[in-house]
């Protein structure tokens, strides 16, 4: 009994380990962690002691699935994005963060509330950006990221965007942001860009998807525009991809859209996507990009 009491006293007197991310990814939203994160945010996320910053980053990463948007979005995401853009995370922290995010974004990872996977994708977009700006991933690691991103976007079926009282999920837009950062990376080859485009095409307006009302179409258009800017797809490939991505199927023609809610939702989503492409291409200062407009204009006319 005395031994048990001694252990209890030692446990209670020990400093709380508020910075260690639990191995299962659960958020340890202790008062100490929240206080430290809020203090860091008030200081522009400046944490002078490098080791403390690394520990705090991994602890906050575990909170990306927390139901409180102030913690999930306002503290965890903002801190990680700030530190990744400032190159304030050391290589081992970046690698650990990437690997945890990939595991949380994977199909079947378990995400009952539907927050963790979308925010894992969003932070992974910042991880991908850091590799694009100052390459640090091996080709095989980058390939694994491309495969995971394409799989996440292609298979996503939770289309919730913003919900009052809950905040953002926005998995489709966050996945598109990840694809965009990958498409921007000159290290990606034609085959990898093709997988980015296939993933986008799968989500322009899949069967059963609601009408996009949270900016999803604009976000989906961005990786396409940046993939086109690479100049690796000729006119025939571009026209074929666009025709498939914006087809009225399973309807025989767009005129059938007016006969069902599903048809109208599909038309709505396809037109928003095409309009986003039109805006991006027509406003580009790149003549080669503006030359990609005719198939977009033709597709828009077909949906009228």
Q: Given this model, what pLDDT does residue 26 score?
A: 81
Q: Given this model, what pLDDT does residue 108 score?
A: 85
Q: Given this model, what pLDDT does residue 270 score?
A: 99
Q: Given this model, what pLDDT does residue 5 score?
A: 36
Q: Given this model, what pLDDT does residue 110 score?
A: 83
Q: Given this model, what pLDDT does residue 112 score?
A: 87
Q: Given this model, what pLDDT does residue 23 score?
A: 42
Q: Given this model, what pLDDT does residue 28 score?
A: 86
Tell me which residues of the chain have a pLDDT lower than 70.
1-25
Q: Given this model, what pLDDT does residue 121 score?
A: 99
pTM of the model: 0.91
Q: Given this model, what pLDDT does residue 125 score?
A: 99
Q: Given this model, what pLDDT does residue 25 score?
A: 60
Q: Given this model, what pLDDT does residue 24 score?
A: 46
Nearest-angstrom CA–CA distance, 218 and 108 = 28
Q: Given this model, what pLDDT does residue 7 score?
A: 35
């Amino acid at each position: 009994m005395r031994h048990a009491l001694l252990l209890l006293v030692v446990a209670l007197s020990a400093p709380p380990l508020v910075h260690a991310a639990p191995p299962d990814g659960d958020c340890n939203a202790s008062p100490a962690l929240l206080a430290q994160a809020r203090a860091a945010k008030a200081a522009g996320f400046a944490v002078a002691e490098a080791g403390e910053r690394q520990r705090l980053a991994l602890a906050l990463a575990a909170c990306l699935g927390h139901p409180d948007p102030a913690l999930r979005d306002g503290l965890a995401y903002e801190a990680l994005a700030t530190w990744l853009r400032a190159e304030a995370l050391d290589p081992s922290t970046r690698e650990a963060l990437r690997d945890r995010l990939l595991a949380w974004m994977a199909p079947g990872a378990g995400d009952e509330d539907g927050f963790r996977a979308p925010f894992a994708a969003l932070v992974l977009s910042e991880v991908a950006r850091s590799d694009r700006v100052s390459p640090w991933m091996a080709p095989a690691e980058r390939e694994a990221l491309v495969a995971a991103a394409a799989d996440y976007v292609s298979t996503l079926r939770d289309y919730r965007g913003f919900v009052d009282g809950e905040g953002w999920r926005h998995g489709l837009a966050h996945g598109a942001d990840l694809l965009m950062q990958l498409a921007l990376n000159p290290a990606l080859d034609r085959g990898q860009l093709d997988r980015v485009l296939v993933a986008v095409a799968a989500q322009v307006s899949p069967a059963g998807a609601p009408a996009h009302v949270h900016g999803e179409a604009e976000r989906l258009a961005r990786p396409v525009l940046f993939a086109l800017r690479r100049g690796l797809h000729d006119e025939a490939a571009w026209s074929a991809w666009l025709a498939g991505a914006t087809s009225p199927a399973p309807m025989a023609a767009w005129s059938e859209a007016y006969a069902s809610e599903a048809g109208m939702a599909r038309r709505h989503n396809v037109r928003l996507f095409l309009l986003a492409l039109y805006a991006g291409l027509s406003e580009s200062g790149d003549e080669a990009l503006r030359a990609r407009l005719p198939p977009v204009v033709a597709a828009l006319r077909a949906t009228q």
